[in-house]
Amino acid sequence: PRVTQLDLTGPAQVFSSLPDVTVHLVWKRIEPVPSDSVIALTPTVTFADCPQLDVICVPGGYGTDELMLDEDVLAFLRKQESGATYVTSVCTGSLVLGAAGLLKGYRAATHWTARDALPYFGAELSLERVCVDRNR
């Protein structure tokens, strides 16, 4: 809930264009989930029915604060992470991965307003993709 729809639909569009790939939009229930805009997103599979994922991509948005405290979400990510090849996120989705304990020992990035939180999750803050105005 309250995901930034572009953080979800951008990666979904890219992954969906690959051959022999099935993209799952996963949530607790199969019912429309409100984004942080006027768009609602409909999951394709529940946590309980989700197969083992090869790639996990957690989108960001205003809803990440609640997800960081949602034990159902965190347990699902921990369970899936053990068999996934790639565990990724967009923007503040990294904070959810951190809350699940999946960033310990990794370099990670997030939205600039939340980046000071990453070390609390055991992650090393990565700034390589941050644009800096060198004329300042």
Instruction: Provide the annotated active-site residues.
Output: 91
Q: What is the DSSP letter of 94?
A: H
Taking a C-beta distance cutoff of 8 angstroms, is the pair 48, 80 a contact? no
Give the span between the Cα atoms of 12 and 6, in whole angstroms: 9
List the one residue out of 100, 98, 93, 84 whose CA is nearest residue 7.
93
